[in-house]
Amino acid sequence: MIEIKQFSELTDTDQKQLFGWGEDIFGVQPWNLQWRRKDLRFVLYNDGIPLSHAGILKHTVTVNAVEVSVAGLGGVVTVPEVQQAMSFAESEWKLDAGLLFCRPPMVSYYEALGWEIVESAVIIEQPNEKIPSPLPVMVFPFDEFHWPAGVVELQSLPW
């Protein structure tokens, strides 16, 4: 039986099943970034075995000093729960857009799902400094929202 469950934290068993199958499964170790914890996790199970994961968090960024509420998406292991997570963020959290940090080889995949590249700089926080994101950043505007142009200040660790 296939089901999607929501959690604030994963069990150790689910964590190992979903993420313990390789070193650097997201391919981001070369950037040596610190990452923010997610507020909510969506896990896809098949007969009680966790197969897919997406984490989201609620956050406000500024774009040219204008506040924009976003659902940060991260820790995506497979596709099915991505739309569930973004649907939740739009309908339950009433946010403006989804925002994710993307490995370059995955950009075209997310573009095919309706995500758009943020063309301007995205400034992220790290323990001792603010830096431009070394990874492409993508947005998924909800409803009729139009992503504003300009430098994005994340005011947080990336997710």
How many Cβ atoms from other residues are within 10 Å of residue 112's Cβ? 8
SS3 126: strand
Architecture of domain 2-153: 3-Layer(aba) Sandwich (3.40)
User: In the chain, where are the structural domains located?
Assistant: 2-153
Whole-number pLDDT of residue 94: 97
pLDDT band at 78 (very low <50, low <70, confident <90, very high): confident
Strand 152-153 to strand 122-126: parallel, antiparallel, or no bridges (unpaired)? parallel
Q: What is the pLDDT of residues 15-74, one digit of tens each?
A: 999 998 788 989 999 999 999 999 999 999 999 999 999 999 999 999 999 999 999 999
Q: Answer for the pair 53, 42: CB distance below 8 angstroms, yes or no.
A: yes
Nearby residues of 105 by Cβ (< 8 Å), 6 or more positions away:
none
Q: Does residue 10 register a pLDDT over 60?
A: yes
At 12, list the tokens: 């150790």
Does 104 or 78 have the greater pLDDT score? 104
Q: Does residue 81 register a pLDDT over 70?
A: no
Whole-number pLDDT of residue 93: 97
Whole-number pLDDT of residue 68: 98
pTM: 0.88
Q: What is the pLDDT of residues 86-130, one digit of tens each?
A: 999 999 999 999 999 999 999 999 999 999 999 999 999 999 999
Return the residue matching tokens 């963020």: 89
